[in-house]
């Protein structure tokens, strides 16, 4: 399980079940296990601090690599 955090203010955003060892390029919505904070304006996902975290593509979020960091383990 990974905790996705804002790279700017380190706020917890969501808990994600990652499959595979690759980079986190997308977060599939059905594998987001808990949401701590999401501010969605149109198709963009923002942190509370205003940083853009991801783009909503429908079934998944396309992650902005500079916008987030993560902690935890990849299963």
Site of interaction with Zn ion (CB under 5 A): 6, 8-9, 11, 47, 49, 51
The number of CA neighbours under 13 Å toward the Cβ of 65 is 3
Contact 15, 37 (CB under 8 A): no
Judged by CB, which is closer to Zn ion: 30, or 49?
A: 49
Judged by CB, which is closer to Zn ion: 8, or 60?
A: 8
Shortest distance, position 27 Cβ to Zn ion, whole Å: 16
Shortest distance, position 55 Cβ to Zn ion, whole Å: 16
Give the CA distances from residue 2 to residues 41, 42, 58, in Å, rounded to whole numbers and listed in that order.
24, 25, 21
Two structure tokens written together for 55: 């783009």
Shortest distance, position 59 Cβ to Zn ion, whole Å: 25
């Amino acid at each position: 399980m990974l905790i996705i955090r804002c790279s700017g203010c380190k706020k917890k955003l969501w808990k994600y079940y990652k499959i595979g060892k690759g980079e986190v390029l997308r977060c599939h919505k059905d594998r987001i296990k808990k949401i701590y904070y999401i501010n969605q304006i149109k198709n963009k996902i923002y942190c509370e601090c205003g940083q853009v975290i991801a783009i909503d593509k429908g079934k998944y979020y396309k992650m902005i690599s500079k916008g987030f960091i993560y902690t935890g383990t990849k299963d």
